[in-house]
Structures are given as structure tokens and as C-alpha cells.
Structure 1
Amino acid sequence: MYHRFDENKYPSTNIQMDIFKEQMSIINTSNYKFFDPQYLQKEFNFPKNKKEILITVDDAFLSFYKIAWPYLKREKIPFILFVSTETVGKTGYMSWQQIQEVEKEPYAYIGNHSHSHNYLVDLETKNFLADINASIEIFNQNLGYNPIFFSYPFGEYSKTIKDFISKNFDFAFGQHSGVIDINKDPHELPRFPINEKYGDLERFKFLINLGPLPYKSLNPKDKYIINNNPPKLSVEFFENQKNIENINCFSDEGSGWDKSNITFNKNILNINFREKFTFRRGRVNCSLNDDGIWRWFGVQFSVNQN
């Protein structure tokens, strides 16, 4: 997941274009292919025993169009560009004409990123519905369709939000880290954020070589924490899944990141949080060494601020 390109004032969402090009080169030299989002449409159709890399870009900043787009167009690298309709045409953002130009290319896909790019979990249900319905109407007016891809602003969503998005979009992406596999929920797809702080080439090589860490189910279904802070997190793995006992989890409740207290009940992993989550977004990352393959999944909770 990328945002800005060569906008040095915003290191938390920016990537230097020369670093971005090196990252794309690393993907090629590692013999990975770029994943064409059209195959998500074909019943979650992933290549068997192969890994491909999907590039996504959030917010449709003008720096994407001026700096990254010419390179992606020349190299014909597939990607999804997620657009919040309220900011289109405003200072620092792409215009509808530019979005339409990008969308014409067969390897460029547009996604819906809400209308306001607001903290959706903070909105009353009627206001959330009005926001998404406004974006759908504006996309229909300007592209002739509403995209099948959605990206939750800030990766935040509740069960109510996810249920509505599930009825109006085929796929939705969060900002929790992980590798997509056939077992992942199509409306809770993970992505690795890449920026100046978390975009160095060694980390990038590590990320693209990670394997998926499959699981059968994950609870709670609602990732929005209101009164249940800390929540009870459990992950059910498949029976006879290999090397699960090697798993390690880290979480950022309380004062910051630390190793999680985990227990197993047969093939169910329970994560027992040390303290309440104090930040707006609470994160859990789990990994294991599976006979030399590092596997990873992440969870993000949204924490009520009232």
C-alpha cells in the first residue's frame, strides 16, 4: 500500500520515487509477477503454489499522477488506485479527467475509498450510509460504474460498516498487515503499508518473501472496540496445520509493542492482552517459521474514542 510519491513533507505516507523503482525491480529480480486485480474477480483465483504481488495506492494524490503513473504506465504494472470522491480536483489531488485517463489502461483499476475519507467508525450509521452512497453516485456519474474494490479509510471498520460494504463491493482492503490467501475474508483483505519509515529495501525484501499464515476463523468478528477493551482475540487454525506451535505474536496495547501472551487449546490460539488498547488503532502481528518459510498475518482493531 502506497500513498504519496516524492512528497518529503509527509514521511509517514510518502515514498521516494527512486526507492519505489528499486522496490519494483526487486519484485522482478525475485521472479515474482505483479498480480492483476482482475483475477480477484474470478472467484478469488490465485496462482497455485506461486506468489504474486499486488500494488495498491490510496487517496489519488496528484504526486501519484505526476511521478508514479508515468513509470507504472511505461512498465505496464497492474495496480488499484483508491479514490475518495470529495477531494477529487482539490489542491494536491487528481482530477476526474486524470482519473479517467488512468482508468482507460487495461492494467489500471480504480477503487472506492469513501466520499469524505472520514473516520467511518466515528460516524452515526445514517451518516456513514450517506457518505458511501454519495461516493457510489459520484463514481457512477464520472466513470459510469461503481468500483468493485473498496479501501477502508485508515483501515478502520466495524461489523456494521463491513456488512454494508460487503453488499456493495466485491472486495475490501484494510491496513492490517498480512498475505492474502484463499482463506482470507474478501472484505478484510490485508496489505503491507510502505512509506519512508517502513519502506527500506531490506524490509521490503523480507515482506515480499513472506508466505500466508492461513487460519479457519478469527474472533471477534467485530474489529471495533467500544466497551470490550481489551477484546478477547482467538484464532482457529485448520486441523493438522503444521508448525503452529512455532507462532509468535506481538501487540501494541498499553504503552507499546511487546510480545503477546498466547495460549493454545488444541488448534485454537488465544491472545491474552496485557492491558487496554490506548491508541486509536490497536494492532496484532503473528508470524511463524514453517520449515524455513516465514508466514505472517495481522489484525487491526479500531478503538472508540468517546
Structure 2
Amino acid sequence: MRIILLIAVSFTYLFANAHIFVYHRFGDDRYPSTNTTLIELEKQFLYFQKNGYEVVPIEKIIEKVKNKKEVPNNWVGLTIDDAYKSFYNNGLELFRKYNYPFTLYVYVEATNRKYKDFMTWDQIKDASLYGSIGLHSFGHKRMTQISKEQVYSDTKKAYDLFSKKLGFEPKTYVHPYGEYNKDVLKELEKFNFDAIFNQNSGSITKESKLNDINRIALVGKVNVKNKLRYKTMNASWEAPVQFPKDGILKNVKARVDTKYKTMKLYITGYGWRDIKVNKGIISENLNIPLKQARTRIILSPDYYTIANKIIIKNKTTKEKKLMLNTIYEETKEHMTKTIEAIKRDYKSLRTGKVTTTILDGIKIDY
């Protein structure tokens, strides 16, 4: 009996895969693609509770990975992106009811400028009594589409404001839109975050990289049981390194465990296909045009044990010039309206009469 128990324990930890989930909005049916109803949320919490899962602070998972220790199979971490007000008004009560810790990631610009749908700094402070708080950038930009200097500047601005308003420094970071590349990661390294999270399906093991930890999205009506089946497969990606300049994916190359003889390959826009593995080497010639600027590539022997990566098309010089030209024209138009408004009311200014101008929705009294 003792031997059987030891074998069972060894098996559990040999394949130990913890899971971290990400939520966005709660009980807000205006945005179904990012919303989790309170009924669905409680179903998920009850599933964790009844099936032996332990919801732990993500800091405990990070500590295991940092020390290269096995991460218990039944550990679950919960994160919330953007700090929407619906979390504070709707979701937080259920987290408190089940005593489930969480990490809330702040989109700093939205909170600091008091955007209507986002939590205030005071509400975030209140939420911090029940969970931890992390950083989700300042301007929520697509970091792969801006310069390295802009990535650093955005993060520095967010980091400093976060620290000033909350009284402590952020220890973890999540990418806006889950998009990143090696240049983005290099800039983020300068802030010494304990961990950086993506938004890729997969689990967390002692082999996970602290600057690239998986999180699985739980939005809409999902089968949390199936999400908990995801395991991370170790794969060394060789190609593609980045989004091809000509938009043609020529091949996929990777190294996996030699025990695999076949594999399933997923590419956004093309679905799944069966491929062969030769002594742990995958080399699949494709020559297919990529259909989306954000393309996910997945390798899996069974649809649930997966290795995946995202490649993102960078804006061309022509596209960047077009974007800058659009900004210039919009600014020019705005300035023209402003000058016209001032000229129109100049006579009133001279006579001392007060007149009101409505400019871009802003009431201006002269």
C-alpha cells in the first residue's frame, strides 16, 4: 500500500501542471467577448472547490518556478486584466465569498484619467485588501508596433504612477493584448519584475520561464474542466522566428521529445493538420500566405498538451507614415477649429461679453 501511494505521488508531481486563468469583465453583458457572467463565475469557483483544486496567490506559483520546484497539479491562480469597474462592482463579492485570492492588473492611463468604465485608485486600494495588484502598461498599446524607446517610456510612466498612487511598486506585469516579442521583453527586463505573463493556453511547470508565464482566458461560457486539461509541452522553436516580411509562412521547425512520432500543427486561419516527427525534429514545409496579422502556431500530440507561439506582423514603413499622416491631419483639423473659434469670439472678448463655444464636446467660456 505504501509503495502504491509513493508511486501515485511521484506520478502526480512528474506531470505537475498548475494553471493560471485571466478574466476581464464581470456581469457586463455589453461586452460578451470579454465578459464572464456571475452565474458562470460561481460555477467555475464551485468546480474548483468540489474537485480538489486550491486557488492560490500567483506569488506562490512564481516562487515555485523561481526555485525550479515542482508546482502542485491542483494549484490554480486567478488574474483580472484592465481593472474594469465591473470587477469592483460585481466580481469582487464572489471572490470574497469563496476567499479566493487574485491579482488585478491596472491599465494605468484609464484609471489615472478616470475613464468611466475603470476602477479608481481608491477602489484599487480597497481591492488590494483581498488580492495583489500588478501592472498592465500605461497606454495599453500594442507593444510590438511601437519602438523600444516607446515601450520603455510607457512602462516607466506606468510604473512610476502606479508606485506613487498605491504606495508600493508593481512586482508583476502582463502584456496588453498578450502581444510581445524579444525586444519588448528586453525593455521590460529593466524593471526587474518578478514575473511577466502572456495570454497563451498552457500550464505552468518548474520549467516555465518567469518572463513568459502562460495564462488561459476564461470569458463567456467556457468548460473550465477542459481548460484544466491543458499541459505545457516543451518545444524548442527554430522557425518561424518572426512574422515573415512577405507574409508567406514557408515552414515550421521545432525540436520536441523523441518519444513523439506524430504531432498536430495548428495555424490561425488553417486549423489543425497532422505532421510527422523524425527523431524529435519537426520540419514541415508549408509555403502558405498568413491570413491574419496576429497568427498563433500550436504543436500538440493530443490537442491539450501544447507548445504555442504568436507571431505578429509589424507595420511597414508605408503603414507607419500613413498612421502619422492621419494623426497630423487630425491635429491640424483640431487646431484649425480652435483658431476659428477664437477668431469668431474675438469681438466678444474685446467688448467684455462672455460667450460660450462648444469645441469637441468641451464647454469653453470666454
Partner of 2:249: 230
Matched, 1:279 2:279: no
Kindly indicate whether residue 47 of structure 2 is the aligned counterpart of residue 26 of structure 1: yes
1:118-197 to 2 correspondence within 5 Å? 118-168=141-191, 169-196=193-220
Which deviates further from its counterpart, 35-44 or 45-54? 45-54
Alpha-carbon offset, residue 14 of structure 1: 0.8
1:85-100 aligned at under 5 Å gives the runs 85-88=108-111, 89-100=114-125
2:336 matched to 1:299? no
Would you say the 8 A contact 2:102–2:132 is kept in 1? Answer: yes
CA contact (8 A) 2:83 2:104 kept: yes
Between the two proteins, the alignment pairs up a number of residues equal to 290
- Matching residue within 211, 220, 225 for 1:205: 225
Please report the TM-score for the alignment, with normalisation by the length of structure 2.
Answer: 0.72
Are 1:64 and 2:87 matched, yes or no? yes
Aligned partners of 2:272, 2:40: CA distance in 1, in Å? Answer: 31
Q: Deviations over 1:272-296 (max 9, x none)?
A: 445232313111233324xxx9523
Q: Do the aligned partners of 2:23 and 2:219 also contact (CA within 8 Å) in 1?
A: yes
Shift in Å, 1:166 = 2.6
Contact 1:261–1:272 under 8 Å retained in 2: no
Q: Which amino acid aligns with 1:56?
A: T
| TM superposition shift of 1:185 | 2.0
Cα-Cα RMSD = 2.4
The answer (yes or no) to whether the contact 2:234–2:256 under 8 Å persists in 1 is yes
Is this contact kept in 2: 1:84–1:114, CA < 8 A?
Answer: yes
Cα drift, residue 47 of structure 1: 4.7
* Contact 2:203–2:231, Cα closer than 8 Å, also in 1: yes
Q: Percent identity?
A: 22
Q: Secondary structure at the match of 1:298?
A: strand
Distance in 2 (CA, whole Å) between partners of 1:272 and 1:162 is 29
How far the C-alpha of 1:154 sits from its partner, in A, is: 0.6
Structure showing greater radius of gyration is 2
> Scaled by the length of structure 1, what TM-score is found?
0.85
Cα distance change of structure 1 residues 40 and 220 upon mapping to structure 2, 3 Å threshold: farther
Report Cα offsets for 1:29-64 as digits up to 9, x if no partner. Answer: 221111321224425155556231111111000001
Q: 1:231 to 1:110 in 2, by over 3 A?
A: farther
Match of 1:53, SS state, is: strand
Per-residue deviation at 1:235?
3.0
Mind listing any 5+ residue stretches in structure 1 that lack a counterpart? none
The Cα of 1:150 is off from its aligned counterpart by 0.8
Distance 1:115 1:285 in 2: 30
Residues 1:35 and 2:60 aligned together:
no
Separation (CA, whole Å) in 1 of partners of 2:109 and 2:97: 29
Q: Deviations over 1:136-189 (max 9, x none)?
A: 111110122321211110111121111121332121111221112122222122
How far is 1:130 from its partner? 1.0
Contact 2:299–2:307 (Cα < 8 Å) also in 1: yes
Written as runs of structure 1 = structure 2, the 5 A alignment for 1:97-108 is 97-105=122-130, 108=131
